Amino acid sequence: MDFSSIPSIFTLVALSALCAHVYFHRNEDTSVRGSILFLLVLPSLHTKFLLNYYPALQATLTAFSLYYVVLFTSIIAYRLSPFHPLYKYPGPLCCRITKWTTAQVALLGETHRWVRDLHRRYGPIVRTGPNELSIIDKDMIPFILGSQGMPRGPLWDGRLFGEKDGKVYDSLITLRNQEEHAKLRKHWNRAFAAAPVKGYEVLLVRRMKQLVQGLEKACRDSPNEVGKIDLAKWVSYLAYDFMGDLAFNGVFNLLVDGDSAGLLKGMYDAMVLPSITQHIPWILPFLRSLPVVNAGMSGFIDFAEAQVKQRLSKTPKHPDLFHYMIEAAEEADSGMNPESLILQNSLLAIVAGSDTTASILSNVFYYLMRYPDYYKHLQEEIDGALDGSGSVEADRLTNLAFLNAVLNETLRLQPAVPTYLNRAPAIGSGGRGLSTSMFIPEGTAVFVSPYTIHRDPRYFSPRPDDFWPERWVQTSAKTPLITDDKEPFILARDAFIPFSVGPANCAGKPIALIEMRLAIANTVRRFDMAFDDDFDPDQWERELLDRFVIVKGQLNVALRLRRL
């Protein structure tokens, strides 16, 4: 091409921009080098051709402006055109063009409510990104999440726990290769099999006693024996301490000493960045290079490293979760450094083993106090089951109908992971069929939102937005509850996915259910509680933030000892 005229130079710039579009479309480049090459270096090279016609500053502005205008126009035109494979699916115009919209919503912590509003407006399948669909059709769940499902999608590249000293700290939960995931997951399955879980209960009972004793002290230390506490903080202490017992041989003692070191805040701060970058994974390397932005995650990694070193120096009497992490690291043949893998899974244990349980328990107590009749009903059931027994044993709680109903209803309304259960067709597969009429091309991400599907009247009716535990105590599918509502009674258990489903479901579900039942039973049996006078119940749900897991605010409670 003759570069002796301005039109020919402009043509070169435009063609280069179109080539960049093709590159990014095919490669979904996430490397800093690739992004710098096509976004900075290439337009810079064109500047020198314009220096013969314009001053340096004008030449630079002209080259970059034309390059970006053509690049972005090409990208937008394709994403909105009938040639795009997701063209037929409805969704907001801004989402069809860019994922920056979802990143902005994530920054505010509003993703769970926003996704639900989209489905109310557009239906069960919504295009939430240029190459992303949100689906709330229960018949497709087995082909998205289940045993016939797909591997994790590109969002997980933006959820990596962090990077420090050149090492990227990943974990079981972010592995996108199904074979590697299956190899590592078997050790977590061993860790939460029936026999180990029975051993963990001993640790759990000790922590339950500390919880009750701490709450009793709060009552007795008050002049009128009414303890004023933040109950959400106390159940967070419980979950964090038990996770420390389970994974690190008892290194935390928040129930007794409090959290003067800010451990909980450190964990929450670390979760903010991945909750945003999951929507724009390619920007993660840039943000990690900024110490101020990456400070929360870097501090969280430092903290986890210290716990790993401390645990490696001990030999507990009974195998704990860390024991199985070591086994997984020793047997891993995926090319991962064993020490790095142990740290990765420790990061996972801290978040998945503590905050999820704490958020569910906090919401259980919120709903019980919001509806005091349910609180009394649950107290009566627990009192009757224990029948004067001094101790609360997990086995005696397993089949309590109303306790399980309260727990299920809370998990339905406020699942700990509310939104992005993300999957995508395997790389090199060409795509995946989700039904006889729906084919997902390779490069398309699909996610299911438990928060949204759990409130869908097609699957939970009547009163899908109400806390109504009775829906879970029907005697059978043939004899449903009789209600005064005009809507039909529907309880689609195959649409109930608070722990996800399939090979990547929550490995710790067995011990999490035991922990939650014990915490509810011990607390409800020993105390009467109500919202503190200055607490606004409506504010609680408004302040629940979606940071991949739910982040909660304060739950201010007036607590009084029961006279048993």
Known binding-site positions for heme: 506
Which residue numbers belong to the known binding site? 506
Q: Which of 306, 159, 330 is nearest to 247 (CA)?
A: 306
Which residues lie closer than 8 Å to 407 by C-beta, 6 or more apart?
360, 364, 513, 516, 517, 520
Please answer whether residues 184 and 332 qualify as being in contact, where contact means their C-beta atoms are separated by less than 8 angstroms. Answer: yes
CA dist 149 and 287 (Å) reads: 32
CA dist 512 and 210 (Å) reads: 18
Q: Which of 400, 401, 410 is nearest to 481 (CA)?
A: 401
**Side chain identity, residue 545:** L
Please answer whether residues 51 and 59 qualify as being in contact, where contact means their C-beta atoms are separated by less than 8 angstroms. Answer: yes
Please answer whether residues 249 and 76 qualify as being in contact, where contact means their C-beta atoms are separated by less than 8 angstroms. Answer: no
CA dist 258 and 255 (Å) reads: 6
Buried b (16+ CB within 10 A) or exposed e, 221-255: eeeeebbebbbbbbbbbbbbbbbbbbbbbbebebb
E runs forming strands in 65-190: 125-129, 132-135, 162-164, 167-169
